[in-house]
Amino acid sequence: CKLPEFKGLKYTLQVAPEDCTGCGACVHNCPAKSKEDPNHKAINMQFQPPLRADEAANFDFFLSLPDMDPTKLKLDTLRGSQLVRPTFEFSGACAGCGETPYLKLLSQLFGDRALIANATGCTSIYGGNLPTTPWAQRADGRGPAWSNSLFEDNAEFGFGMRLAVDKFTESARELLTELIGCGCKSCKPVLSVMKEILTADQSDQTGIEAQRERVAKLKKALGGCKERAAVQLLPLADYLVKKSVWCVGGDGWAYDIGYGGLDHVIASGKNVNLLVLDTEVYSNTGGQASKSTPTGAVAQFAAGGKAMAKKDLGMMAMAYGNVYVANVALSNPAQVVKAFIEAEAYDGPSLIIAYSHCIAHGIDMTKGVDENKKAVSSGYWPLYRYNPALASEGKNPLQLDSKSPTTSFEDYAYGENRYKVLQKANPEAAAVLMKKATAWTASRFEYYEKLAALTYEKK
């Protein structure tokens, strides 16, 4: 490996030959090309059967290698985050799915301490297709705690997780504070550890791992203490390590059926992270229109093209003023990583809306990231991060991460069958809706630009 921080190590991209879905997205997006033959990349699609036996053996060897130490990696960077072994892998999602990369990243950044409330939909089909599950664990047995809710109450479900974690943590800290006065032979040697636990910085992975070591020492000591507080603290001690609570689902949940709950949670002020995998249709049930479906797109229940504009969920959440909001797309992976890190670090509700290309869009799924790029460059999908904490520093909370449109909305839209089909079936109606959608796209982006240009005074 040529990177200075990994001097003396070797790097490989090892494919699991029997788990590859054959979408070709990795090859299409790979930037490393041969100077002699530009068509030959660092990774290439090949017929599987002749390679299966050798590559399966290589993969078995790869699995025997130790995982990278997350405390030695810069997890707030694209490169550092992708060197962490995912605790979400080998899902049953469609080939080239636009949702799963976000879940993989979530698992790499926070999987060792994540509690995930999952809304019924695609994420529950490929996320809980028992008796298997893509949600995995690290070598030490730590991994996400995942549970599926009903479609309509997922935000409330995750909110309950947050309240439970907060109460357990509060009780554990009270009991630990009480035990600091214990002078028994088990507690006395870890008195300094107890105090360190109460004041520990758990803002990054290094701090999290250090806290786990302290809690392990504490639990060992608690086993020898007969005080009531020690007996009660032992089953709660792990809650002294920071937990990350996430509500995950699609736009059918967040924009439509579960919106009331989502609104309730972000209005609560509690530290709950909400990830919306926005395919702009009810993907799991066949592609029905939702309030996220854009103007002019054809979907079930909108065979003549959707007449109304897409609901601006991010803008609605920003109106509260105390909600972290991000609009992200895979075309800018560094911005995605930054948004996930900031959202999780924000001590309050956070909402990440992630553009998720889908087979329902009528696109070549090999080139899904290209569609992300077109959506962003047309101004249809502005990339931004709204961080309320910046206002107290005299900075504008809204940071627009994408540039002014360089391509037209029409060029983006008519590259997808969900728009193109109406143009062929009813050109007149398509033209009317396209004009409406183009105007809405331009107007909304201009509005975001004006908001991002506002000046703030330090309060």
| 300-313 pLDDT per residue, tens | 999 999 999 999 99
Per-residue confidence band for 131, with pLDDT thresholds at 50, 70 and 90: confident
Residue 61 structural domain: 4-65
Mean pLDDT in residue range 324-350:
98
312 three-state secondary structure: coil
Task: Say yes or no to pLDDT of 459 above 80.
Answer: no
Q: What is the pLDDT of residue 150?
A: 86
Q: What is the pLDDT of residue 48?
A: 92
Task: Say yes or no to pLDDT of 458 above 90.
Answer: no
Burial, 427: exposed, middle or buried (Cβ in 10 Å; 0-12, 13-18, 19+)?
exposed
Strand order from edge to edge, sheet including 350-355? 145-148, 114-118, 244-250, 273-278, 350-355, 324-328, 384-386, 398-400
Task: Work out whether strand 114-118 and strand 244-250 pair parallel, antiparallel, or are unpaired.
Answer: parallel
User: Is residue 242 a part of any domain in this protein?
Assistant: yes
Q: What is the pLDDT of residue 38?
A: 87
Same domain, 375 and 414: yes
Same domain, 393 and 325: yes
Q: What is the pLDDT of residue 304?
A: 96
Same domain, 280 and 389: yes
Same domain, 386 and 459: yes
Q: What is the pLDDT of residue 253?
A: 97
Per-residue confidence band for 13, with pLDDT thresholds at 50, 70 and 90: confident
Model confidence over 361-389: pLDDT tens digits? 999 999 999 999 999 999 999 999 999 99
Mutual orientation of helices 259-268 and 154-179 as an angle, nearest 10°?
30
| Overall number of domains in the chain | 2
Model confidence over 187-211: pLDDT tens digits? 999 999 999 999 999 999 999 999 9
Per-residue confidence band for 11, with pLDDT thresholds at 50, 70 and 90: confident
Task: Say yes or no to pLDDT of 333 above 90.
Answer: yes
CA distance 303 to 301: 6
Helix-then-strand count for the chain, H and E? 17, 10
Same domain, 42 and 184: no
User: Is residue 132 a part of any domain in this protein?
Assistant: no
pTM summary value: 0.96
Same domain, 183 and 244: yes
H helix or E strand, kind and range, residue 80: helix 78-81
Ordered alpha helix ranges (H), 403-426: 409-413, 417-425
Task: Say yes or no to pLDDT of 438 above 80.
Answer: yes
Mean pLDDT of the chain: 96
Q: What is the pLDDT of residue 183?
A: 87
Tokens for 50, please give them: 């002749």
User: Is residue 166 a part of any domain in this protein?
Assistant: yes
Tokens for 429, please give them: 């109606």
